[in-house]
Amino acid sequence: LELKNERRITVATEELQARLHRIEMAVEATAIEVERSSEANRFMAKLLAERAGVVNFPVKAERVITPH
């Protein structure tokens, strides 16, 4: 009985190790994609900030009446 129980634990441990490895790979891939997305966001924000510096904005904003 003890040998049978030890084999069952070993198989379950190996399966869990493989599953954990797959989860780690998925988390790592997600982290890389999030970093790429945030880098693209920073790049776009930089471009928009540079563009906004060139445009002449009106000195006084017009008053806008919105319906309620």
Instruction: Tell me which amino acid residue 5 is.
Output: N
Whole-model pTM: value is 0.55
Alpha-carbon distance 34 to 36, whole Å? 5
Alpha-carbon distance 9 to 7, whole Å? 5
Q: Which tens digits make up the pLDDT trace of 13-26?
A: 888 999 999 999 99
Alpha-carbon distance 59 to 45, whole Å? 23
Please enumerate in sequence order all residues whose Cβ is within 8 A of that of 27, keeping only pairs 6 or more positions apart, or say none: none
The whole-number average pLDDT for the span 37-41 is: 94
* pLDDT over 70 percentage in the chain: 71
